[in-house]
Structure 1
Amino acid sequence: MTDPFIALVEDLGGPGPLEGLRLAVKDLFDLAGTATGAGNPRWLETHAPAEADAEAVALLRGAGARVVGKAITDELAWSLNGSNFHYGTPENPAAPGRVPGGSSSGSASAVALGLADIGLGTDTGGSIRVPASYCGLYGLRPTHGRVSLEGVVPLAPTFDTAGVLARDAHTLRLAMAVLLGEPEEAHAPVTRLLAPRDIWDELPAATRDAVMPAVEALGLEVDTTPFFDDPHFGLEHDGAAGGVTPLESARRAYAALQAWEAWQAHGAWIEASRPEFEPGVKARFANASKLVGADVTGAQRVRSGVVALVRDRLPEGTALAIPAAPGPAPLVGEEPDREAIVRLTCIAGLSGAPGLALPAGTVEDLPVGLQLVAAPGSDEVLLALAGSH
């Protein structure tokens, strides 16, 4: 295990609602005067120092937060594990000997270790929600587009979001209020939780037993109606015969679209710069380079179906309640079940919806988190639920 920071920063902070709070910045966000490394030494070598802070960093600094360091990220943010081939695996004090989750690994580790109060991260396919679950933290993936990504290295732009991790709901709400600004419209408070049995039934029993009490503890109506029994949903985007659940079809669509966008964003740089990647990231980019238009067209149809489902299943006053990860953090060096993770995180990603991760319980004394997803634009409603947790 290693220190969560790749570089420490001297910053005195200033007055504002975040005064006195320490900020760890994921190494995808520009800090004026330093080069952004995106978790890869070759990226660092081939990019000049930033001329200005990323807008999210500037907002948090402007509100009084004090930057304490640039935090490790998984390479180009394309991993959910939290280990980095070049810089090491940041410590997870809530689960010693286990990964912190990625790709906002250093931000989560710094907050969990008490070295920072706010961890600025990104979430494309779960990179805030999964570390929050593994480290026993609070985290929000905001509605897509609500927080500026100016000055942030992309992975898959139609999925990328910027949010924060914190040890408590109050700090999460303070920091996210700064990043979100004023909502365009008010949303009704959540009075009903949808905990669909077609998703919960696929989970390990230990995770169900640990997380469901946290759902019930919110004191709201709980509905277990299946999520995916909708005729507008395209079951399979690849035309494969039988045996693929709608949830798996959604995961496959997410994976294809993310890979397509990642190659569009970074393929030219990879071919020109020949970076060294850890094996998993290398394989994902290699596979992404082989995708064709038909893969994307089919996946987009499934994505449209998920958007329609979220609109229908999560009206005003309703939130989806599912685990943030299928179980506790894997041991360092253990291969995670990436597909099982993405089945839980892809609904928010495909629909652009906000996803809140809350500490929920433990499996064999290791943290597991609850994920709440609401209609796009309902970030403040979810943050209010965090405060009642």
Structure 2
Amino acid sequence: MTDPFMLTVDDAGGEGPLAGLRLAVKDLFDLAGTPTGAGNPRWPETHEVPEADAEAVALLRAAGARVAGKTVTDELAWSLNGSNAHYGTPENPAAPGHVPGGSSSGSASAVALGLADIGLGTDTGGSIRVPASYCGLFGLRPTHGRVSLAGAVPLAPSFDTAGILARDAATLRLAMDVLLGEPREAAPVTRVLVPQDIWGEISQDTKRAVMPAVEALGLEIDTAPFFGERLSAEVSSLEAARVAYATLQAWESWQTHGAWIAQAQPEFGLGVAARFQNASKLTAADTEAPAQVRAKVAVLVRERVPEGTVLAMPAAPGPAPRVGEIPDREAIVRLTCIAGLSGAPGMAVPAGTAADLPVGLQLVAAPGGDETLLALADHTGSDIL
């Protein structure tokens, strides 16, 4: 296990709603005068030191937050585990000896350790929601495009989002209000979807840990299948969604970083190296069918998750794996891909424990429903979770 910080920063902070709160910045976001590392030592060797803060960092600083430092991230943000081949595995105090989850690993670790109050991270395929679940934190992946990613290293731009990790719902709300900008009215929630075709894939231990948090919401529970007959595939519809997400993300990731990889020849850890190698073989034709699935999922979310409804499922299939274990990446992405494919906001909240380790509940609203999720966290976080 390693310290979550790549470097610490002497920042006095300022006045505003976040005054006195310490901010941990994932090392994908620019800090003026500080190299951006992106989780790989070759990146700062081949990129200029930024002259300005990333927009999200600038907004949080302007609201009074004090930057505590830059934190470890998985390489180019393409992992969900939290182990970096170059910089180690940040500590998970909620599950000693277990990974913190990635790729916002350092930000989650710093917040869980009490070294920061706000963890700025990114979520492409679950990189805020999974660490939140593993570390017993609150975390929000916002609606795609609502929070600026200017000055942040991209991975798959049509999926990338920037959001917050925090130890409590109130701090999550304070920081996200700053990043979201002009507030939107939060729709009252009366119904929660607990689809049998999604929950049927969850282990009994995780169900027993998470379901009481769903029931404690006090909402009408709808267990009807989420996908039904709407997606045709030889495998389950949830699996079809995962495959579509994985293919499109890989394609975009290679379009984003392929030229740099070919020129800079970075050394990657085994998992990240394999994913980029596989991504390099994809063609535009390979994305045609996945793009159709993505469009169907987006329509399905609009139909099944209207105002007043949220979709509930675990934020991860189970608690954090032990350091050195190979995680079931496919099982994780089945639970995180719906928000990514539809551009919807997803929030992870602490729900309970399985095998004495934290597990989180994930709530997904329709695109634009960020304030609805935050209001739900405000209402329920201190009472039931």
Fold match, TM over 0.5? yes
Corresponding residue of 2:209? 210
**Matched-pair contact (CA < 8 Å) for 2:258–2:280:** yes
Q: Which amino acid aligns with 2:337?
A: C
Corresponding residue of 2:363? 372
Superposition map of 1:67-82 within 5 A: 67-82=67-82
Corresponding residue of 2:259? 268
Superposition map of 1:174-185 within 5 A: 174-183=174-183, 185=184
Corresponding residue of 2:336? 345
C-alpha distance in 2 between matches for 1:49 and 1:26: 16
**Equivalent position SS for 1:2:** coil
User: Unpaired runs of 5+ in structure 2?
Assistant: 381-385
**Matched-pair contact (CA < 8 Å) for 1:187–1:316:** no
Corresponding residue of 1:247? 238
**Matched-pair contact (CA < 8 Å) for 1:230–1:309:** no
**Equivalent position SS for 1:82:** coil
C-alpha distance in 1 between matches for 2:222 and 2:81: 32
Per-residue CA shift, 1:176-218, capped at 9, x if unaligned? Answer: 00000113x5342111100101000111000011100000011
Corresponding residue of 1:357? 348
**Equivalent position SS for 2:121:** strand
Corresponding residue of 2:190? 191
C-alpha distance in 2 between matches for 1:187 and 1:211: 24
Corresponding residue of 1:324? 315
Query: Which deviates further from its counterpart, 215-224 or 342-351?
Result: 215-224
Matched, 1:303 2:294: yes
CA-CA distance at 1:84 after TM superposition: 0.3
Matched, 1:164 2:170: no
C-alpha distance in 2 between matches for 1:108 and 1:158: 24
C-alpha distance in 2 between matches for 1:182 and 1:230: 38
**Matched-pair contact (CA < 8 Å) for 2:315–2:348:** yes
Query: Which deviates further from its counterpart, 222-231 or 375-384?
Result: 222-231
Corresponding residue of 2:383? none
C-alpha distance in 1 between matches for 2:22 and 2:187: 33
**Equivalent position SS for 1:95:** coil
Per-residue CA shift, 1:117-175, capped at 9, x if unaligned? Answer: 00000000000000000000000000000000000000000000000000000000000
Q: Which amino acid aligns with 1:135?
A: C
C-alpha distance in 1 between matches for 2:193 and 2:65: 36
C-alpha distance in 2 between matches for 1:367 and 1:68: 26
Q: Percent identity at matched positions?
A: 77
Corresponding residue of 1:239? none
**Matched-pair contact (CA < 8 Å) for 2:254–2:276:** yes
Corresponding residue of 1:38? 38
**Equivalent position SS for 1:120:** strand
Corresponding residue of 1:5? 5
Matched, 1:126 2:117: no
C-alpha distance in 1 between matches for 2:105 and 2:246: 21
TM-score normalized with structure 1 length: 0.97
C-alpha distance in 1 between matches for 2:93 and 2:307: 38
Q: Which amino acid aligns with 2:88?
A: G
**Matched-pair contact (CA < 8 Å) for 2:186–2:375:** no
Q: How many residues align?
A: 380
C-alpha distance in 2 between matches for 1:319 and 1:88: 37
Q: Which amino acid aligns with 1:188?
A: A
CA-CA distance at 1:294 after TM superposition: 1.9
CA-CA distance at 1:247 after TM superposition: 0.2
Matched, 1:277 2:276: no
C-alpha distance in 1 between matches for 2:305 and 2:186: 12
C-alpha distance in 2 between matches for 1:369 and 1:182: 29
**Matched-pair contact (CA < 8 Å) for 2:305–2:366:** yes
